Chains A and B, each alone.
Chain A
């Protein structure tokens, strides 16, 4: 199975900060990667597909990049509603695998 490793596991940041976190695949997955946001007790929400394409309705402060084995999600100016856990998901090879998540907390 392809292992997806997210780093850091958590980070503290302030409103207005630019934050970037990483998702690494144990083998190349082209750009077959999506990003999701989840708040406690809620269903995940869409963010990014095909590593860098913004899903419909997602604010432009979110951006994704990468290909192969290393991917990043950037929030250009953190907003109060962005404090959540973020997951990457690879679908290059079955079984699809999520990263363990990066929790973004308020500093």
Chain B
């Protein structure tokens, strides 16, 4: 059974940092692209970042480029999102999602339950 378990969310002050983790199980982690999608309170879905399973190439939304860093540790079956210089507008539930393919496409077949990030003073 495929499982994606996010962790690392919480309350952080503006300008602070957090690292989200997504522990994957039930599939060959290294063979699939992985992504983060977020949802601000009462709002729709927003794609944040994706990473290729083929070569680790990363892609970012303009709103997080230069502040967020996506990485993966295939030996630990874990996806990481390092979030720096956090802003109030980064407040959201962050979902980890497994891609259908090894290279990033907007096709996700499994999602985690989400981890909440609140940026506030």
Contact = CB atoms under 8 A, between A and B. Distances in A.
A44 B111 contact: yes
Contact of A94 (B37, B46, B59, B110): B59
Contact of A98 (B47, B59, B107): B47
Interface string A84-102: 0001011100111111110
Interface stretch (B24-32, B71-79, B83-91, B98-106): B98-106
Interface residues of A, number: 26
A56 B109 contact: yes
A81 interface: no
B95 A95 contact: no
A97 B44 CA distance: 11
Nearest to B96: A43
Interface of B: 37, 44-47, 50, 59-62, 95, 97, 100, 104-114
10 contacts: A32-B105, A34-B107, A38-B45, A43-B112, A45-B111, A87-B44, A91-B105, A95-B59, A95-B61, A99-B44
Interface of A: 1, 32-34, 36, 38, 43-46, 49-50, 55-56, 87, 89-91, 94-101
